[in-house]
Amino acid sequence: MIRTFHITRPDGRLRFMLVEKIDNLTKPKGSLGRLEEVALQIGLIQQSLSPVLRHPQNIIFAADHGIAEEGVSVSPRDVTWQQTLNFLSGGAGINFLCRQHGFALKVVDAGVDHDLPYERGIIDKKVRRGSRNFLHEAALTWKELEQCIEFGAEVVRQCYDEGSNVLSFGEMGIGNTSPSSVWMHLLTGISLERCIGAGSGLDNAGVQHKYEVLKRSVEHYRGDGSTLDIIRHFGGLEMVMVVGAMLQAAELKMLVLVDGFIMTNCILAASRLYPEVLDYAIFAHQGDEAGHKLLLDWMHVRPLLSLGLRLGEGSGAVCAYPIVDSAVRMLNEMDSFAHAEITKYF
């Protein structure tokens, strides 16, 4: 049975006091723009006029995809396990960003088709060795869906117990822009063709082939069209695990930094199950995958950054963290007009 989450919207009664505090800092009203919006959101989440960011962590969920057998990615399947090991040795893109911005990094095996060295610190949540090929059958069974959601939630509870109140999520899985594109298409109604991009570097012919494979996959789908059935049938193990992780983070009133195209589709799916999850999400950046801006616009959300990133791994979310930190510092470190004895100048 799929677990139930108890997610509530932040109590809005503190909004007036937060806005009053922000407006009475020694600056023209609204002059710190998005920082003021982020500060208000975090203050409401934490129900505090002086919120604190504690022990930020980036969690990477890794898994292989059956649909990769259809040549929908330019990268070979082995890259999934090879890059997962690279995270442990500290040489990946996300590693230097985590070091730079003070993030702890957790790497979770959600379903990598390889025997990984768990003794080196990988968290073993392997449900199976890669999803099934959804061109021919459902990627996951209902039992596997249930396990993924629960395992994602378990990792977040561990972070919470370690003192974290802000998380970002990343993914590693060759072929995972394909399930992401299908999720986007079926959960938004945007045409499949507009949801598909080059992934890790397909040329025009490769993108067209990817479209044909995914189009046939959607045509073969005979499910009930519910959010759970869509993410099960076309799911990546790591992606469904992230959905569970995001929902658990929101239930625990943690701040969720949303990374690129794949993670945006995960928060989309999570929000179709529990709309309240969006109150805990800050959209970090607009990636370079073709459908990402389209999806962000459809969700009516504005990312903090647009750097042309398409790495995944949580890289854009960690890059955006200093902006989030600045918003909290604004609330806690700027003086008020009254205390500084400065006349309001707006």
Collapsing DSSP to helix, strand or coil, 84 comes out as helix
Delimit the CATH 3.40.50.10210 region(s) of the chain: 57-322
Collapsing DSSP to helix, strand or coil, 346 comes out as coil
Note if 313 is an active site residue: yes
The C-alpha atoms of residue 109 and residue 128 are separated, in whole angstroms, by 10
Give the pLDDT of residue 346. 63
Give the pLDDT of residue 340. 79
For domain 12-51+330-340, the CATH architecture is Orthogonal Bundle (1.10)
Please identify every stretch of the chain with a pLDDT value under 70, giving residue numbers as ranges. 200, 345-346
Beta bridge partners of 61: 108, 171
Torsion of CA 200, 173, 162, 282, to 10 degrees: 50
CB 341 within 8 A of CB 119: no
The C-alpha atoms of residue 262 and residue 193 are separated, in whole angstroms, by 16
Length of the chain equals 346
Cα 281 to chain center, whole Å? 9
| Residue that the structure tokens 């022990």 belong to | 55
- Tokens read off for 144: 């596997």
- Output Rg (C-alpha) for the chain, integer angstroms: 20
The C-alpha atoms of residue 261 and residue 246 are separated, in whole angstroms, by 15
Strands 104-111 and 255-258, by their bridges, are unpaired
Task: Using alpha carbons, select from 183, 346, 209, 334 the residue that is nearest to residue 267.
Answer: 183
For domain 57-322, the CATH architecture is 3-Layer(aba) Sandwich (3.40)
Beta bridge partners of 123: 108
Instruction: Return the exposure string of 108-144: e unless at least 16 CB atoms fall within 10 Å of the residue's CB, then b.
Output: bbbbbbbebeeeeebbebbbbebbbbbbeebbbeeeb
Neighbour tally for 60: CB within 10 Å? 28
Neighbour tally for 101: CB within 10 Å? 16
Residue in 146, 171, 251, 313 annotated catalytic: 313
Measured between alpha carbons, how far is residue 91 from residues 33, 94, 171, 231 in Å?
Answer: 35, 8, 16, 32
Delimit the CATH 1.10.1610.10 region(s) of the chain: 12-51+330-340
Give the pLDDT of residue 272. 98
Task: Using alpha carbons, select from 139, 146, 148 the residue that is nearest to residue 221.
Answer: 139
